Amino acid sequence: MSEVERVPIFRFTEVEKSSADDVVVTEFPLTIVFNNQELVTLLCSPKNLDYLAVGFLSSEGLLKSKDEIKNITVDEQRGVVRVETEAENKQAGELVFKRLITSGCGRGTSFYSAADVGGQRKVESQTKISALEVFELVSEFQHRSQIFRTTGGVHSAALCDTKSILVFSEDIGRHNAIDKIFGECTLKDIPTDDHILVTSGRISSEILLKAAKKNIPLLISKSAPTDLGVKLANDLGVTLIGFARGKRMNVYSNDWRVVSHG
């Protein structure tokens, strides 16, 4: 299935109306069924649907490692990914519902209770990176972002070491793009510890927490963070870098991981 779609449009200027074709991104409803329980329907870009499903389950704490997975089936026609695990489904229906309401994109989180954030371990990784290495990663990241350049409506994410991009993804949703990364890492046994996450999107508290849960010490964005994102980054030991553009960047927390030279 194509990630972009050609549609007929009319272009208007002050004095002219002309028909043309435009390319828009595909928005695909994907339903995730986990151990025969329909969990959620995500709106996503129709690529790497298995990564998205596994990454979503992993981010929500419903799946820890590849070994737990008994079976994954992707039905692209019907827009369904089914994931089955060896373990019994510990989550009762209501628990799953409650959990899902707390997920996603500014539409409700409950981790502001001290218990939830308090339960999150601080990231202790001693990984360091030079400013130059950040600029080079961001430059490579920008070059990889194909769909965005075509249609202007897609987010990208990448897992990197200090030298290069290891895993790259694109999706219409900034949460989905990151979950696709985590899903690929889960399925390919790529560790996220000591690694770097680059995202095209704003760094809100939810994105920050998502990274901290994966023990990621460095989070880089070309966009702005929120105050709560900065606060959590300080509390959870994450180095938060925003407005990374060209040869400039802002470091909002734990700047000891960024060295000026080297």
Where in the sequence numbering do the catalytic residues fall? 105
CB of 44 to a copy of itself, least distance (A): 7
CA distance 192 to 159: 8
CA distance 138 to 97: 37
Site for a copy of itself in 119-178 (CB under 8 A): 131-132, 134-135, 151-153, 172-173, 175-176
- Residue 186 in contact with residue 54, Cβ under 8 Å? yes
Binding-site size, a copy of itself (CB under 8 A): 74
109 binds a copy of itself, rule: CB under 8 A: yes
217 binds a copy of itself, rule: CB under 8 A: no
Look at the block and give the residue holding tokens 């290891």.
166
248 binds a copy of itself, rule: CB under 8 A: yes
Strand partners, 259: 130
CA distance 250 to 240: 8
Select 15 or 36, whichever has its Cβ closest to a copy of itself. 15
Stretch that binds a copy of itself, among 1-9, 69-77, 120-128, 184-192 (CB under 8 A): 1-9
Q: How many CB atoms lie within 10 A of CB 11?
A: 10
75 binds a copy of itself, rule: CB under 8 A: no
Select 26 or 125, whichever has its Cβ closest to a copy of itself. 26
CA distance 66 to 85: 9
Residues 6+ apart with CB under 8 A from 24: 4, 5, 7, 151, 153
76 binds a copy of itself, rule: CB under 8 A: no
Which residue, 139, 171, 137, 131, is CA-closest to 28? 171
Select 79 or 190, whichever has its Cβ closest to a copy of itself. 79
Stretch that binds a copy of itself, among 65-73, 94-102, 182-190, 212-220 (CB under 8 A): 94-102
Site for a copy of itself in 27-66 (CB under 8 A): 27-29, 40-44
Among 89, 102, 127, 162, binds a copy of itself (CB under 8 A): 102
Angle between helices 205-213 and 174-187 (to 10 degrees): 0
